[in-house]
Amino acid sequence: MSQRRRSTKSLQLLDRSSGKRLGLLAIFLALILGIFWFLMVWMPGQSYNGSLAALTAEEVRLEQTLNGDISMLAAGPRSNPESLEMAAQYIEQRFAQAGLISQRQTYEVSGERYSNIIAEIRGRDRPDQIVLVGAHYDTAYTTPGANDNASGVAATLALADHFGPNQGNAKPARTLRFVAFVNEEPPYFHTENMGSLVYARKAKADGDDIIAMLSLETLGYYSDEPGSQKYPAPLNSLYPNIGNFIAFIGDVGSRKLVRTSIHDWRDKVQFPSEGAALPGGIPGIGWSDHWSFWQVGYPAVMVTDTATYRDPHYHTDSDLQENIDSDRLARVVNGLGQLIGDFVGQSAA
């Protein structure tokens, strides 16, 4: 066999071997992408994409209540001990109006006292199983924080009203706990002094069985304009670019809770929704109080309008009540009432 023929045959064998390796690599990459899609991106049901019906009478009343609470909370920054104390007292008063007795979890940072505000409805059948709904009541820097996060606190208070004894409801099967967290924003964000981390660690030490935690974070900004919704890379091509939906976000360990939430929401609520269970290191995925619960092993989901990825007023002095879409906020909070009712086994009296 001539040298040329031997070289040609060797090249052909090399080409076949390279082709096989490339084929195997393509299959491997497709498998990885498929696993990523199924475990983290795929969600049950379909997001609602129809027109929104007129608000019901109940939703109109809810909108008025939410507006009143946001107006009170967003009258100024909530970022120093004095303003935080005023907000804490207001939250306690609102829990009392819902017929709930609240308590404080107070701790010290650099000689100053800060408090998480806690209220609960004890479950009738499975009281040791706890569904926790929470939102932080402090603001970033000197911002008024209407959307971040008076909207989340107002939603928490409205849900306390909805489930509280003053509405004549029977007790839920599981315990429903409401917590207003302090010190979510810088300089406490993701530190030992973050209010939700202080709370979550104490709950774990006490043996609390928190089966689901919902962190209500910036719920009030929406847009129907194409390009109004942004994402951290590499999620840009996986989700819609119109910011008209509410999002349920968890880490991979909270995947079951994310999917349960989305499934129930899409089954009952006519409002657009998206969900993801992604690695917590992706920017934005762990940017609220749900992160603290992940640190101690509790399943937790952030319910959000996606904050900085949509709202141009996020962490600025223009985070004012006038920029909140109160109509859609009322729809979202009403939907959360249905979702949480299923979680806790709520039934009418």
238 and 266 within one domain: yes
Q: How far apart are CA 204 and CA 295, in angstroms?
A: 10
Residues in the chain where the model's pLDDT stays below 70: 1-40, 347-349
331 and 314 within one domain: yes
29 and 6 within one domain: yes
- Cβ density class 237-248: b for 16+ within 10 Å, e for less: eebeebbbbbbb
**Could you tell me if residue 152 is inside a domain?**
yes
Range of the domain at 4: 1-42
Confidence (pTM): 0.89
Q: Which pLDDT belongs to residue 287?
A: 96
110 and 136 within one domain: yes
278 and 228 within one domain: yes
- The CATH number for 236's domain is 3.40.630.10
Q: Which pLDDT belongs to residue 349?
A: 37
* Max CA pair span of the chain: 97
95 and 206 within one domain: yes
**Could you tell me if residue 349 is inside a domain?**
no
Q: Which pLDDT belongs to residue 35?
A: 58
pLDDT digits (tens, 9 = 90+) for 205-250: 999 999 999 999 999 999 999 999 999 988 888 899 999 999 999 9
The torsion region of residue 112 among left (phi > 0), alpha (psi -120 to 50) and beta comes to: beta
**Could you tell me if residue 91 is inside a domain?**
yes
Q: Which pLDDT belongs to residue 42?
A: 87
CA nearest neighbour of 126 among 176, 163, 175, 169? 175
Count of domains observed in the chain: 2
Q: How far apart are CA 299 and CA 149, in angstroms?
A: 22
Q: Which pLDDT belongs to residue 32?
A: 53
Q: Which pLDDT belongs to residue 67?
A: 98
117 and 12 within one domain: no
Q: Token match 């299923």: residue?
A: 342
pLDDT digits (tens, 9 = 90+) for 183-193: 999 999 999 99
140 and 16 within one domain: no
